Amino acid sequence: MSGDSVIRAYRRRGPAWRPLGAVAILFAAGVGEVLLNGVPFWPAVALITVLLMADGWLALALLRPRTVVRPTGITSHAVLRRRTWAWHDIRELRVEDARQDSSMRFVACLYDTAGHRTVLPFLNERCVPDLHAEVEFLRGLLASGRGVA
């Protein structure tokens, strides 16, 4: 297997046009509000620039996060950060209870060899029908990736 092939990818379900449409509506409403209220030119430019930056951040937050599993390891993509662990850098994969203020009950967590815990994006019971079986599959990949299996 090549290191570039994707074994599994966990990301937001559904078409991308829905969140992008919502962001576009928010941006259009903000621009309309600025233009209809007669804001002077330079403050209007500044406000529209801030709207564009905020809505761009929102679009990134809605579309970029994902977890990708490759033959070489696991990569977690957040809004502006990407972390990659080779199989030998992963100590354990677990299903754990989600935070109490979360709408989810269970999430998948990665523990690296330094002891750091990372909740893997979209690897939870809401996005994966059988989370426990999926994490067991990933544990099998972890064992074979380390040469233990």
pLDDT at 4: 73
Q: Could you give the CA distance from residue 26 to residue 40 in angstroms, rounded to a whole number?
A: 21
| Residue position matching structure tokens 């990407």 | 82
Give the alpha-carbon dihedral of 108, 114, 115, 121, to 10 degrees: -20
- Only one residue has tokens 């002891």, namely 115
H runs (alpha helix) in the chain: 17-36, 41-63, 131-146
- pLDDT tens track, the chain, 149 positions: 445 789 999 998 888 888 899 999 999 999 999 999 999 999 999 999 999 999 999 999 989 999 999 999 999 999 889 999 999 999 999 999 988 777 888 999 999 999 999 999 999 998 899 999 999 999 999 999 877 65
Nearest in space to 73 (alpha carbons), one of 142, 26, 20: 142
Distance from the first to the final alpha carbon of the chain: 17
